[in-house]
């Protein structure tokens, strides 16, 4: 039986480009080379796709502050071929061998928000992770929170502002609605990029300006005092949840540096020290969140567990980090699913969903 030909797409146009490079390196190293034929497809910061035929695709890969794509000369594009998806080179229009499935190891806008997922659907290609809708609502914190709230899932109180409203953001109003301190976040970004904590008017104004550098919509959110718990979810129609883990930040909050650069920026406690009843409630909440937001394949659900044991959902990540210190694969490891087996399951889920959708009618029979 021929190996499954898997396209790993990594890099991307977002501010999380470097995180994606680190994640992709780990995914590739964990894949069974006897089971998969790996095709490396790097996306630069302008959104161009390049084919890399060997594993020296990164420079400075041991330093998360300097890691970057190696020079990739063979620019390619995805097109719909004659009944099958194809990769084609830009320079000489050479048609390359077909892919069986794509694993997008992309974070943030233009990779985790449904845009790339739409491209894969257009070229009729199975892909790992959430579909277009689940990706889009999972990325937009404003829409995500409104859907969860309407479903009766507890979230932090928040206010939403668009760029046109930036000068109208009133400190007194924010303080009255949400209290202080508050967190200011770009609506469509992850990895704590552009997120600030504000305790006064000056800090709020500075935080708003920073957040608007990354998105045209921001949210301002109340501070929730509670333990930061994360839970991994895996599956399509019948998802399962991992044993939860806990983030113990050594800073004011779990920043980008703490997640990906400073090995001492946070302590990851796995499993989290929770009683069995709370563990079950966290897992139930994670699965419910996954379903409400129309996700498939994988996601990491982040919640707060308050002192009274109330669970408040913070966010969902539909393409969670896969770096060496990332919680998503680590939580599955302590739950009994190895990194390599996890990748196998994700690829199987992608192909399963694709095959199920291929059975649907696309026209009426007369």
* CATH superfamily of the 157-222 domain: ATP-grasp fold, A domain (3.30.1490.20)
Cα separation, 73 vs 83, in Å, equals 28
For residue 176, the model assigns a pLDDT of 96
Cα separation, 200 vs 172, in Å, equals 10
Cis peptide before 154 (omega within 30 of 0): no
For residue 63, the model assigns a pLDDT of 72
Supply the DSSP string of 258-314, one letter for each residue: HHHT-TTSEEEESS----HHHHHHHHHHHHHHHHHTT--EEEEEEEEE-TT--EEEE
pLDDT for 111-166, tens place per residue? 999 999 999 998 889 999 999 999 999 999 999 999 999 999 999 999 999 999 99
User: Please, are residues 219 and 141 in contact by the beta-carbon 8 Å criterion?
Assistant: yes
User: Please, are residues 68 and 21 in contact by the beta-carbon 8 Å criterion?
Assistant: yes
pTM here is 0.90
For residue 300, the model assigns a pLDDT of 97
For residue 86, the model assigns a pLDDT of 76
For 168, residues 6+ apart whose C-beta sits below 8 A from its C-beta are 161
Cα separation, 95 vs 186, in Å, equals 40
Cα separation, 219 vs 141, in Å, equals 8
HSE-CB for 283 with a 13 A CA cutoff: 19
Counting Cβ atoms within 10 Å, is residue 130 exposed (0-12), middle (13-18) or buried (19+)? buried
* Annotated domain spans of the chain: 4-127, 157-222, 227-357
Pure H helices in the chain: 17-30, 115-122, 132-139, 141-150, 171-178, 201-212, 256-260, 276-292, 327-334, 339-358
- Walk along the chain (366 residues) and give the pLDDT tens digit of each residue: 468 999 999 999 888 888 888 888 889 988 998 999 999 999 989 988 988 766 677 777 777 777 787 776 688 888 876 655 578 888 887 888 889 999 999 988 889 999 999 999 988 899 999 999 999 999 999 999 999 999 999 999 999 999 999 999 999 999 999 999 999 999 987 657 789 999 999 999 999 999 999 999 999 999 999 999 999 999 999 999 999 999 987 666 554 555 545 555 568 899 999 999 999 999 999 999 999 999 999 999 999 999 999 999 999 999 998 877 789 999 999 999 999 999 999 999 999 999 999 888 877 665
> Which two tokens mark 110?
């233009």
> What is the architecture of the domain spanning 4-127?
3-Layer(aba) Sandwich (3.40)
CA dihedral 20, 21, 23, 27 (to 10 degrees): 130
Fold of domain 227-357: D-amino Acid Aminotransferase; Chain A, domain 1 (3.30.470)
Among residues 211, 201, 233, which one has the least CA distance to residue 298? 233
Max CA-CA distance within the chain?
A: 67
Cis peptide before 271 (omega within 30 of 0): yes
């Amino acid at each position: 039986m021929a190996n499954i030909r898997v396209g790993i797409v990594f890099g991307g146009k977002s501010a999380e480009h470097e995180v994606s490079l680190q994640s992709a390196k780990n995914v590739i190293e964990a894949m069974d080379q006897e089971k998969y034929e790996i095709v490396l497809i790097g996306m630069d910061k302008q959104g161009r796709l390049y084919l890399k035929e060997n594993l020296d695709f990164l420079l400075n890969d041991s330093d998360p502050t300097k890691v970057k794509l190696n020079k990739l000369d063979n620019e390619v594009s995805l097109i719909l071929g004659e009944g099958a998806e194809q990769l084609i080179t830009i320079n000489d229009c050479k048609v390359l061998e077909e892919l069986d499935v794509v694993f997008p190891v992309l974070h943030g806008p233009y990779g985790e928000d449904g845009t790339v997922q739409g491209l894969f659907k257009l070229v009729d290609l199975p892909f790992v992770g959430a579909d277009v809708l689940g990706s889009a609502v999972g990325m937009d914190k404003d829409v995500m929170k409104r859907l969860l709230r309407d479903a009766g899932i507890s979230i932090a109180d928040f206010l939403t502002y668009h760029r046109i409203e930036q000068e109208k953001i009133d400190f007194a109003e924010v303080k009255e609605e949400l209290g202080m301190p508050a967190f200011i976040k770009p609506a469509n970004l992850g990895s704590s990029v552009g997120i600030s904590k504000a305790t006064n008017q000056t800090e709020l104004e500075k935080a708003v300006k920073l957040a608007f550098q990354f998105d045209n919509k921001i949210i301002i959110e109340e501070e929730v005092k509670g333990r930061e718990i994360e839970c991994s979810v895996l599956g399509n129609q019948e998802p399962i949840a991992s044993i939860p883990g806990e983030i113990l930040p050594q800073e004011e909050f779990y920043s980008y540096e703490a997640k990906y650069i400073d090995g001492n920026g946070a302590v990851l406690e796995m499993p989290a020290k929770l009683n069995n009843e709370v563990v079950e409630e966290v897992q139930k909440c994670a699965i419910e969140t996954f379903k409400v937001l129309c996700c498939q394949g994988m996601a990491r659900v982040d919640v707060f567990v308050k002192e009274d044991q109330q669970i408040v959902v913070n966010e969902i990540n539909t393409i969670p980090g896969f770096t060496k210190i990332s919680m998503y694969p680590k939580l599955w490891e302590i739950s009994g699913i190895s990194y390599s087996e996890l990748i196998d399951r994700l690829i199987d889920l992608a192909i399963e969903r694709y095959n199920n959708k291929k059975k649907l009618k696309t026209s009426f029979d007369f």
